[in-house]
Each structure stands twice: as C-alpha cells, then as structure tokens.
Amino acid sequence: MTVAVATDLGTGTWAIDPVHSTINFSVRHLMVSKVRGTFDNFSGAIVVAEDGTASVTAEIAVDSINTRNEQRDAHVRSADFFDAEKYPIATFASTGVRPDGDRYLVDGDFTLKGVTKPITLELEFNGVNPGMGHGEVAGFESSVVLNRKDFGIDIDLPLETGGAVVGDKITVTLEIEALRQA
C-alpha cells in the first residue's frame, strides 16, 4: 500500500547515492558504553508515482559492516550474529508512506538473517537541491531502534557482574542523499 506524499520531491525514481549517504548504528557494549559502526555497501531507491504515491526499497550488504575492529567485524559476520555467508543481504521494502506533521512515516518490511518484521521509519525530508551538474538531489534522515533478538540474533554473552557484553537494542541512523534518475 502506498499513500499520496505531498512534498517537493518530484515524480520518478530517486536512487540512493552511497557516496553521499551513510548507514550508521550503535549498540550498548559492556553495559556502560556504545560500539558504533557503519555498513559501507548498500543501495536503494525512492519511487514517486504521477499520483503522488511513493515507495522505498533498500538493500544492505551485511558483510560490509565496519566497526573499525577487524576481529569484532569478523565475529559479527559469523553465524553467531549475521551469518553473512548464508544471509548476505538485509532488505527493506515499504508498505506505505504517510505524512506525520513535518515528517513522514515509512512503514515497511525489514528482513535480516532470513527474518522479516514490520518496522516504521520516522523520515525527515530535508528538501531538494538542483545538484552539482549531475541532476537533482534530495536529502533524508531517519533513525530506528531494532531489537536484534527479533531477527534471530539471540547470542547471549553474559557478564559475571550481570548484564551482557552486547545490548539487545540497536539504533540505526540513515543519512540519505538520493539522485533523481533521468
């Protein structure tokens, strides 16, 4: 299902520009700090139809995780966490886009490690710019909190003093620049 979206975002396909976009995340570590990282390989598109309805799709290569620690990244790629060899791609496909004040709510299905769950992204639309000679660009920001256990990432690494090495809640922050396709 898609809903009319009243924005300055013109009709057509807007491809996510990975050079000018980021997918960041943070997760509680040892109960007292956070590990932060990025996914460096991703793609996606926003399609706005003539009637103003919109849809969003995205793919993330989970093996492109980068926490600036190769040993940790290798462990997160393993079957203990992402099982990237068996499930190399996480996907998002919108099921609806609806205005909510000065932002948009993008409902969709997120699939990670073979598990699909509905999520809602609170999307801030930052506007459209004519670009720098390669066509119009549009900017968006969003964040969502996911529970890793909802997606089958249920490894427990308990601490002797209570709590766990890795928290359950993961905050994912998207900063997206999309290029209008000709």
Tell me what the mean pLDDT of segment 167-173 comes to: 90
As a dihedral over the C-alpha atoms of residue 171, residue 68, residue 39, residue 142, rounded to 10 degrees, the angle is 30
Strand 89-100 with 54-61, pairing: antiparallel
Domain residue ranges of the chain, discontinuous segments joined by +: 12-180
**pLDDT on residue 96:** 95
With a cut of 80, say whether residue 156 has pLDDT above it.
no
**pLDDT on residue 1:** 40
Domain 12-180 carries which CATH code? 2.40.128.110
Tell me what the mean pLDDT of segment 131-146 comes to: 92
Residue 119, SS3 per DSSP: strand
With a cut of 50, say whether residue 72 has pLDDT above it.
yes
Computed over its alpha carbons, how large is the radius of gyration of the chain? 17
**pLDDT on residue 7:** 54
Q: Does pTM top 0.75 for this prediction?
A: yes
**pLDDT on residue 153:** 85
Residue the block writes with tokens 């975002």: 9
Tell me what the mean pLDDT of segment 66-80 comes to: 94
Identify the band that residue 182 occupies on the pLDDT scale cut at 50, 70 and 90: confident
Q: What are the phi and psi torsion angles at 162 (to 5°)?
A: 105, 155
Which of residues 7 and 152 earns the better pLDDT score? Answer: 152
The residue count for the chain: 182
Q: Is 3 buried (19+), middle (13-18) or exposed (0-12) by CB count in 10 A?
A: middle
